[in-house]
Structure 1
């Protein structure tokens, strides 16, 4: 169940929540405000807004909106009340419900609103595509996503009509995890999303949004939410996209965030696949020809991976490899960081990390960064 109590948040979090609810106030302006307040946003909530508004470093539209707010505590209470009305949780960066991979990105929101139960860390892939693909493609997309999820990989998409929704259903068919990042607030769903939500909640899925209560979808909110889909994932797969498909924004975001980008190639005569084919042709995506390529892209090897402490693969690891594994985390760590946390020599650690990679328990990212699978 989502915890919607209002007394569990710190003063800093409540102030952040209030400011995030002001239209036009983004991460950069928040950073300027935090510096203005001496490093603590909570100081702004300790006095009426009018006492600091004139000197605060704010764009004029935001200044005008804040001028209508008597105090930030009042605004935070109002947002939390609206969240409680629809069982909507608030996840701040660093909390378990906030996707760790997303928090690593440059433009990550300071908080997310969510509905559902956020599960434990796992490998996840963004699977997106056209709202109106060619006839007969949606059953294929659903089946492909089901196979991805059967390997234990989470499916992330945008709950839009067409390919996105088919991928969510495929993950649900497999009893797997699926996340949806929306271009509207979670209390402003369109009818189709509202029908999908109960299935998510009943079967372990999660709806996310960076938008505060009451914000409806628009032509500007959809492109921005695509960076969240890519950022929360370990890789991005474009299944079907025309030359002007909105899913290409997700591919672009994935490239900017350093995520592996894959695309399903299509018939050169099929205009609905022109976007995917162009991504491959221009070297912006790798061609994806099987589910196994998706698993490899996210560093997951279901045929080899064994939960630590179970099965022969773990039992056969050397003492050095087991020790190195305990130092690693789901956040990529440099060789020097792992070395500092272990009791191994550089040579012994190098050997242990190679052993873990070959066992499918660790993935190495560019720059000699290591991460648990």
Structure 2
């Protein structure tokens, strides 16, 4: 757990973690406390809480909860123990694992809890929709998400039943990247989310939550979760939503952040699509009629590979390059991981990877990470 062990955290991160674990203490209060502490929360952690609590800027409810704490360091230790026990890692704002787009959003959390491997930067789209869409829509949503992911675009959603889950599965069908932001702590998953987690981890997905261990989902946690889905994405696409669908909260968050908001139009007689149609009619969302429009609005320029076994680019490849291509997928792999699966020598594998890059079938990310296009 690269970012979670106590000895890897700075004093400032430990203080941030401890305060973030206090129920009711949000980003604005945290920043007010940082200013109160002269710009460094670690100065509060260096003193007993009772010495500074009365003067600190916070609501009476938060002050009452903090009054039960003797030292912030003890709170940080307890949270870290629970993270380690349940396999969670921590991503602090500005760190490599923290979503880059989210870091610049007002009211962004100072840290996230996560499970999975956070890959290199890429374009991402939030794909959300109703928990109970009209009959027959979920296979379409899954196929649409797969096609989006085939262009190298990451799919972000909320792992809720219905459209959200269909989009996650569609991205995984393509071997693409998918992120799920949850409305509960990662040790309080509902049963379907828990069942889906192994597939997520195995196929390169990530579960995120801003909530510390032990916090269950509630009516108040889902709207705040929606701002994270929008904030981590370059655009928001609502595939199916009635006029009162919670998916529209994600669209509202995206609009407030200046993200392009798209909506899939539906039959005017279909109440399950009434929310999407209303947003399009009012000009709040752009009508999305194709996968190409998703790529365009997130700023992606996908280079789709010729399917193996067809076309001149594939036929021109060496046997070694073809074999290497089959080892790779849409989750970036290190040179060593590809080497272990290829049964080639390091020198031969290097040549095969160069051949694939020149053919436009593979991209190399910083750090010698290789990914199928």
Do the two structures share a fold, i.e. TM-score over 0.5?
yes
Q: Secondary structure of the equivalent of 1:216? A: coil
Name the CA shift for 1:171/1:304 in 2 (closer, same or farther; >3 Å).
closer
Listed one character per residue, the Cα deviations across residues 27-80 of structure 1 (whole Å, up to 9, x for unaligned) are 111111111111110000111111111111121111110111110000000000
C-alpha distance in 2, partners of 1:199/1:122? 21
C-alpha distance in 2, partners of 1:276/1:102? 25
* Residue 167 in structure 1 maps to residue 172 in structure 2: no
* Residue 92 in structure 1 maps to residue 92 in structure 2: yes
Aligned to 1:22: 22
Q: Secondary structure of the equivalent of 1:296? A: helix
C-alpha distance in 2, partners of 1:265/1:303? 27
C-alpha distance in 2, partners of 1:180/1:298? 18
Q: CA deviation at 1:4?
A: 3.2
Name the CA shift for 1:3/1:111 in 2 (closer, same or farther; >3 Å).
closer
C-alpha distance in 2, partners of 1:150/1:28? 39
C-alpha distance in 2, partners of 1:181/1:7? 27
C-alpha distance in 1, partners of 2:115/2:303? 33
Aligned to 1:52: 52
**Aligned residue pairs: how many?**
306
Aligned to 2:257: 257
Query: Given that residues 150 and 176 in structure 1 are in contact (C-alpha distance below 8 angstroms), is that contact kept between their aligned partners in structure 2?
Result: yes
Aligned to 1:277: 277
Aligned to 1:216: 216
C-alpha distance in 1, partners of 2:138/2:70? 51
C-alpha distance in 2, partners of 1:32/1:256? 23
Q: Secondary structure of the equivalent of 2:272? A: helix
Q: CA deviation at 1:90?
A: 0.7
Listed one character per residue, the Cα deviations across residues 289-331 of structure 1 (whole Å, up to 9, x for unaligned) are 00000000001121499xxxxx9xxxxxxxxxxxxxxxxxxxx
Q: CA deviation at 1:3?
A: 4.6
Q: Secondary structure of the equivalent of 2:217? A: coil
C-alpha distance in 1, partners of 2:228/2:292? 24
Q: How does 1:27-38 map to 2 (within 5 A)?
A: 27-38=27-38
Query: Given that residues 172 and 203 in structure 1 are in contact (C-alpha distance below 8 angstroms), is that contact kept between their aligned partners in structure 2?
Result: yes
Aligned to 1:331: none
C-alpha distance in 1, partners of 2:45/2:113? 21
Aligned to 1:301: 301
C-alpha distance in 2, partners of 1:126/1:100? 15
Q: Secondary structure of the equivalent of 1:131? A: coil
Q: How does 1:140-151 map to 2 (within 5 A)?
A: 140-151=140-151
Aligned to 2:105: 105
Q: Secondary structure of the equivalent of 2:6? A: coil
Name the CA shift for 1:2/1:246 in 2 (closer, same or farther; >3 Å).
farther
Q: Secondary structure of the equivalent of 1:7? A: helix
Q: TM-score, normalised by structure 2?
A: 0.81
Aligned to 2:76: 76
C-alpha distance in 2, partners of 1:208/1:301? 27
Aligned to 1:117: 117
Query: Given that residues 245 and 275 in structure 2 are in contact (C-alpha distance below 8 angstroms), is that contact kept between their aligned partners in structure 1?
Result: yes
* Residue 67 in structure 1 maps to residue 57 in structure 2: no
Structure 1: 5+ residue stretches without partners: 306-310, 312-373
Aligned to 2:186: 186
Query: Given that residues 3 and 91 in structure 2 are in contact (C-alpha distance below 8 angstroms), is that contact kept between their aligned partners in structure 1?
Result: no
Query: Given that residues 157 and 168 in structure 1 are in contact (C-alpha distance below 8 angstroms), is that contact kept between their aligned partners in structure 2?
Result: yes
Query: Given that residues 3 and 9 in structure 2 are in contact (C-alpha distance below 8 angstroms), is that contact kept between their aligned partners in structure 1?
Result: no
Name the CA shift for 1:135/1:2 in 2 (closer, same or farther; >3 Å).
farther
C-alpha distance in 1, partners of 2:55/2:256? 35
Aligned to 2:247: 247
C-alpha distance in 2, partners of 1:261/1:32? 32
